Structure 1
Amino acid sequence: MASSDLEDLISHFNLKISNVKKTLQLRSIGQEPSLKLVLYKIGQEVVLLHDLLNKMETEVQQQERLKNRLKDLQQSAERDQIEAQRLRENIPPHLPKPTQSCITWPTVKHGEETKVAERDHAKKPMKETIPIKEAAFITTEEFQSVPAYMKGRLTYHQINAVIQEINKAVVGKYKILQQPVKSMNAAVRSLYLRFLKEETKDTKGEFFVVEADIKEFTQLKMDKRLHSIFSILRHCRRLRQVRDSKLVRYIIC
Structure 2
Amino acid sequence: MSISFCRKKMSDLESISHHINDQISSVQRMLDLSLADVCPDKRKNLNRELDAIERLLVEFEKSVGQQKDQLSHLKALEELTGNNLASLQHLKDNVPAHLPQKCPQKENEQIMKQNQEPDVESSQQEIVKSKLKSHVKEIPFITLAEFEVIPSYMKGRVPYDEINKAVQNINATAAAKYKIVRQPVKTLNNHTRKLYQRFKDQETKDTKGQYFVVEDDFRDFTQMKVDKRLHGILNMLRHCQRLQELRGGGLTRYIIL
Question: What is the TM-score when the length of structure 1 is the normalising length?
Answer: 0.54
- Give the alignment partner of residue 250 of structure 1, picking from 244, 251, 254: 254
Q: Aligned letter for 2:254?
A: Y
Deviations 1:185-233 (A, max 9, x none): 1111110011000000111110000111111001111111011101100
Q: Offset of 1:97 from its aligned partner?
A: 1.9
Q: Offset of 1:80 from its aligned partner?
A: 8.3
Q: Offset of 1:154 from its aligned partner?
A: 0.9
- Give the alignment partner of residue 82 of structure 1, picking from 88, 97, 103: 88
Q: Distance in 2 between matches of 1:149 and 1:133?
A: 30
Q: Structure 1 183/220 Cα, relative in aligned 2: closer, same or farther at 3 Å?
A: same
Q: Given the alignment of the two structures, is residue 196 of structure 1 paired with residue 176 of structure 2, yes or no?
A: no
Q: Distance in 1 between matches of 2:98 and 2:229?
A: 30
Q: Distance in 2 between matches of 1:79 and 1:177?
A: 52
Residue of structure 1 equivalent to 2:162: 158
- Give the alignment partner of residue 235 of structure 2, picking from 231, 238, 249: 231
Residue of structure 1 equivalent to 2:173: 169
- Give the alignment partner of residue 144 of structure 1, picking from 144, 148, 160: 148
Name stretches of at least 5 consecutive residues in structure 1 with no aligned partner.
Answer: 1-76, 104-125
* Greater relative CO, 1 or 2 (CA 8 Å, sep 6+): 1
Deviations 1:54-83 (A, max 9, x none): xxxxxxxxxxxxxxxxxxxxxxx9998435
Q: Offset of 1:153 from its aligned partner?
A: 1.1
- Give the alignment partner of residue 222 of structure 2, picking from 215, 218, 221: 218
Residue of structure 1 equivalent to 2:35: none
Q: Offset of 1:178 from its aligned partner?
A: 1.2
Q: Structure 1 176/91 Cα, relative in aligned 2: closer, same or farther at 3 Å?
A: same
Name stretches of at least 5 consecutive residues in structure 2 with no aligned partner.
Answer: 1-82, 109-129
> As a proportion of its length, which structure holds more helix?
2
Q: Distance in 2 between matches of 1:91 and 1:208?
A: 27
Q: CA RMSD in A?
A: 3.2
Q: Distance in 1 between matches of 2:206 and 2:212?
A: 11
Query: Match of 1:142, SS?
Result: helix
Question: What is the TM-score when the length of structure 2 is the normalising length?
Answer: 0.53
Q: Distance in 2 between matches of 1:234 and 1:91?
A: 21
Query: Match of 1:157, SS?
Result: helix
Q: Offset of 1:98 from its aligned partner?
A: 2.6
Question: Percent identity among equivalent residues?
Answer: 45
Q: Offset of 1:86 from its aligned partner?
A: 3.1
